[in-house]
Amino acid sequence: MRKKLQNTTSKLWALAAVAALLAVWQIACSTGMISKFMLPSPVDVVKAFIGDFPLLMENLKVTLIEAFLGLAIGVALGFVMAAAMDRFDRLYQALYPLVILTQTIPTVAIAPLLVLWFGYEMTPKVILIVIVTFFPITVSLLDGFRSADVDTMNLLRSMGATRLQVFRYVKLPGSLGAFFSSLRISVSYAVVGAVISEWLGGFSGLGVYMTKVKKAFSFDKMFAVIFLISGISLFLMWLVDVLQKKCMPWEDKK
């Protein structure tokens, strides 16, 4: 009961801080302290969101399809790579530096090349999302696998357990916490990565929509997209929390 009360109180403080920020923003725009050309007011952003709602939803559908496809492939690839590197030390020594290297290259630099190689359809966007999402999954799962309790694994081996059984009953459950922590990061990366890839070429999606309204100097619509992307990312992270509670019910009992 006390834990739930603390969670509710912390959420109220967060909502109060957001409300105060929006109020200051609205006052600054309404009094002329900041030009609407430079920064539209929250009311103008809401009006733009309502006015272009059907168009926003149409473009959001494309962006979410790209994000979910890339995220699914990235999670699957990250799991396979982490399991393989945990099983084979030589493979770990060979691949881990390459995994790190993929994150040193700016995504903005990769995106034009992917568009050049694969065109303006969905393929280059999905590839870019895979690149930005598989890294946190791979690293977190690998750390989770390698931090499994040694005594428990030795006990199972002494009872005749196979490598697969040790992995299934010790390493995999023990890595779930790290996996869901990285999944929260990856779901937000997936949406942002999809939008960034759409900036550089495409026919539909929130990134393409943002490019069009920017050229028209409709900054209220740009902020509407920004808020929509933030809201979608927060919603997806909440879904990950719900999924974690379903998969790890013992965490709530602590």
Please state, in angstroms and rounded to a whole number, the distance separating the CA atoms of residues 83 and 81: 6
**Distance in angstroms (rounded) separating the CA atoms of residues 147 and 47:** 51
Q: What tokens does 158 get?
A: 């002494």
- Residue pLDDT, tens place only, 113-155: 887 888 778 888 898 899 888 889 999 999 989 888 888 888 8
Question: In which residue ranges of the chain is pLDDT below 70?
Answer: 1-10, 251-254
Across 8-35, b (16+ Cβ under 10 Å) vs e yields: eeeeeeeeeeeeeeeeebeeebeeeeee
| CB distance 62 to 204 below 8 Å | yes
Vertex 229, ends 223 and 235: CA angle to 5°? 135
Place of tokens 């974690």: 244
Tokens of 127: 């590839």
The pLDDT assigned to 4 comes to 57
Q: Residue 66 has what pLDDT?
A: 92
pTM of the model: 0.85
